[in-house]
Chains A and B, each alone.
Chain A
Amino acid sequence: MTASAARPSRPEPAGESPAEPVAGAGTDPAPSTAGEPDVPQPAVPEPLVPPEPAVPEPAVPEAAVAEPAVPEPAHPQSAEDGGDGVQQVEGDGEPAVGGAVARAAQAVAGEPGTGDVAGATTPAQPGAGSGPPRMRLSRAVTLVLLAALGFGGVVAARSADPSFSLATARPDELAASLGAIGAENRALASQEGRLRREAAGTAGAGSPGASPAPGGASGPAGGRGAESGGGADAERARADELAILAGTVPVDGPGLELTIRDPHRAVDASVLVDALQELRDAGAEAIEIAGVRAVVSTYVADEPGHGLIVDGRSVAAPYVLRVVGDAHTLDQALRIPGGVLDTVAARDGAQASVRTLGHLEIRALRPAPSPRYARPAG
């Protein structure tokens, strides 16, 4: 600290509350130099431990200073700016010096110490300087508080870490962020689709010229066939995606099986609808509810006295939902506090169990929808 240099040689200035005792002693101004040196040295060594170096030091320091024999009561305070150590030398022993002086000496002792040999034991810090035990205590508390600040800062930073906060977030926050991520995901997926189409279009435009199809007459048809690398593959992939979505093809893949047992008919359609939504939010790609392939138009309704109706078919408990998707994510989605499993468990006698599977197959199919009115636009 630059400030330390400035330190007045006079003891008085230092005199803040703690310092006072020393001030009186101020026979000679401490050499300003003495003060400064200490700053650097704040010899790290165990500042916390109160140095016991006791008597000997005080004497030394002065000598070191070269100043007058009398201890310069100097500014005990100076130490403070030095900011180092807590412990001032213990005052006890300087009887050597005159009574009043002695007092001063002890206070001083700390700083001279810094200058010289003493350094090791006594921390550079004269600072704490004046009032012995009490000052030491409060300086120690100061250090503890600072350490607590550092510690607290780290803990707070860790708590703010997103990956950490997910673990402790409340369910509604999780649901909100899940929703946001889902929306983002959809936006990105549609963007991806658009870009892919664009890329396919570009490839389609480029390849016919570059690699003319055999039999120039075949024209566009030949071109299409030749460019299997670009457009056709994309088309096929697109068709597959749509087929999976529409439930017209069997699918297999990792996923899970959710079984809801409902001996007392306490589970109504809303539970299954919630489960369906939760699974879709969690990225389910194909779902089969009680043997019925779930698609966009799937509905679940209560059928009094029997169970439920899924897309027009009566089903009875236990309801088995088989889902293809990221098994872990799906599993977590079902287990969210207040989520599907909790809801089911709250119903009279109902029980839900989840089994994640590395591989499962959904064979239930749907006829391809044939829209009567809707036509692709643009």
Chain B
Amino acid sequence: MIPLLALVLGVVAGLLLGPSAPDWLDPYLPVAVVAAVDAALGAARSLVERTFDDREFIVSFASNVVIAVLLVLLGDLIGLGGALSTAVVVVLGIRIFTTATVLRRALIRL
């Protein structure tokens, strides 16, 4: 519950403050968000499986985001343009679906 509230709080803060991301963040923010969603879903999954650990979540969240951003940065640096960010999004997307499936099975048993 409370984690959900935290999430909602963040969303509300975002809506209320209406910040605009600085330009240099443009390519990275979306990927970072997807990575974070992956981490958060993973956390939900471990909650369901009773293996949740805060520290593990923090580490996985941070490393997910950092690695995703670094990959995109690398792609920019070596001239791949958006290709690597597409790759990151695809891989994370697959993971998200996998995790979502596990979650669904655990929660709904379908």
Interface residues of A (CB under 8 A from B): 1-3, 7, 13-14, 16-18, 39, 42, 44, 47, 77, 80-86, 123-125, 128, 135, 138-139, 141-156, 158-160, 164, 168
> Quick check: B30 and A160 within 8 Å, CB to CB?
yes
User: How near does chain A come to B41, taking the closest CB pair, in angstroms?
Assistant: 11
Asked if A151 meets B14 with Cβ closer than 8 Å, knowing A1-B107, A159-B29, A168-B26, the reply is yes
Give min CB distance, A266 to chain B, whole Å.
33
Interface secondary structure of B, over-half rule: helix
Select from chain A the residue with minimum beta-carbon distance to B5: A44
Contact A168 B23 (CB under 8 A): yes
Q: Would B1 and A42 count as touching, CB distance under 8 A? A: yes
Q: Is B110 an interface residue (CB 8 A)?
A: no
Bound Cα distance A329, B48 (Å): 56
Question: Which residues of the partner chain A approach B29 to less than 8 Å between Cβ atoms?
Answer: 152, 155-156, 159
The answer to whether the Cβ of B36 comes within 8 Å of any Cβ in the partner chain is: yes
**In the assembly, what is the distance between CA of A7 and CA of B52, in Å?**
14
Name which of A125, A153, A160 has the most chain B CB atoms within 10 A of its CB.
Answer: A153
The residues in B between 40 and 73 inclusive whose CB is less than 8 angstroms from any CB of A are 40, 43, 47-48, 50-55, 57-58, 61-62
A135 to B43, CA, bound (A): 16
Chosen A-B contacts, 10 in total, with CB atoms closer than 8 Å, are A16-B50, A47-B2, A81-B47, A138-B58, A143-B2, A147-B10, A149-B10, A150-B8, A158-B19, A164-B20
| A147 and B13 contact, Cβ closer than 8 Å, known pairs A85-B2, A155-B21 | yes
Closest to B10 in A: A150
Is there an interface contact between B53 and A17, defined as CB atoms closer than 8 Å? yes
How long is the Cα–Cα vector from A143 to B36 in the complex, in angstroms? 13
CB of B92 closer than 8 Å to a CB of A: no
CB of A83 within 8 A of CB of B54, answer no
Cβ–Cβ contact B30 & A156, under 8 A: yes
For A84, the chain B residues whose CB sits under 8 A away are: 1-3
Inter-chain contact count A-B, CB under 8 Å?
146
The closest CB in chain B to the CB of A46 belongs to B2
B4 at the binding interface (Cβ < 8 Å): yes
Q: Could you say which residues of chain A place their CB within 8 Å of the CB of B20? A: 155, 158-159, 164, 168
Q: Are A154 and B30 in contact (CB under 8 A)?
A: no
Is the C-beta of B32 less than 8 angstroms from some C-beta in chain A?
A: yes
Task: Please state if A86 and B18 are interface contacts (CB–CB under 8 Å).
Answer: no
Question: What chain A residues lie within 8 Å of B90 (beta carbons)?
Answer: none
A82 to B1, CA, bound (A): 7
CB-based contact A3/B48 at 8 Å: yes
Does any Cβ of A come within 8 Å of B74's Cβ?
A: no
Structural contact, B1 and A151, CB atoms closer than 8 A: no
Q: Assess the B54–A135 pair: CB atoms within 8 A.
A: yes
Minimum Cβ distance to chain B for residue A361 (Å): 42
Distance in Å from the Cβ of B48 to the closest Cβ of chain A? 5
Are B6 and A139 interface neighbours, CB within 8 A?
no
Q: Chain A residues with Cβ under 8 A from B23's Cβ? A: 168
